[in-house]
Amino acid sequence: MHLRCAFDNLLCVQLTKYTDLALRAVMRLAVTDGGALLTTREVADAMRVPYTHTAKAIAHLQHLGVVESRRGRGGGLALTDRGRSARVGELIRELEGDREAVACEGTNPCPLAGGCRLRHAFREAQLAFYASLDRFTVDDLVASPTGPVLLSLTGPHHP
């Protein structure tokens, strides 16, 4: 999450595209059509995102224990129980890393970084943002009408 400092004259809350892509993959995997499992390619095509980016996000989600790969006939990707019940704010924190919303330090640190009330206010806002999203589980996100829409998404056919 990036929350630009007021010094930049602009305040915004924005998730990285990577996190949004991963959340889209999670939502697509949270709905199944008669138990059929999807491949990474099918998830990428359905969500209209590049395969390589999707594969990277899926690998990360597997590492977090949110997605598992089932082998064999009818195998594919599936959401784990943990993934299904995951709180959205918690999932975003894990995907983004719970870093500070404002880049106060780093190679060109802000001179106020050692004692800034604005920095503290941003941190509180960031925690409130996550807490608000923690009211929802992944299962909540795919309730109607989102679930049926997700099931209707198909991508281009590959030979």
116 binds ligand SF4 (CB under 6 A): yes
CB of 104 to ligand SF4, least distance (A): 3
3 binds ligand SF4 (CB under 6 A): no
Element (H, E) at 141: helix 138-141
What's the rounded Cα separation, in Å, for the pair 70 and 134?
A: 28
What's the rounded Cα separation, in Å, for the pair 1 and 93?
A: 9
Q: Return the range that interacts with ligand SF4 (CB under 6 A); candidates 38-46, 70-78, 102-110, 127-135.
A: 102-110
Closest to ligand SF4 by CB, 55 vs 116, is 116
Closest to ligand SF4 by CB, 104 vs 151, is 104
Element (H, E) at 61: helix 51-63
Angle at 103 between CA 100 and CA 106, to 5 degrees: 110
102 binds ligand SF4 (CB under 6 A): yes
* The binder of ligand SF4 chosen from 3, 91, 122, 126 (CB under 6 A): 122
CB of 102 to ligand SF4, least distance (A): 4
What's the rounded Cα separation, in Å, for the pair 133 and 131?
A: 5
151 binds ligand SF4 (CB under 6 A): no
Judged by DSSP in three states, 142 sits in coil
95 binds ligand SF4 (CB under 6 A): no
What φ, ψ does residue 80 adopt, rounded to 5°? -80, 170
Interacting residues toward ligand SF4 by CB under 6 A: 5, 7, 102, 104, 110, 112-113, 116, 118-119, 122
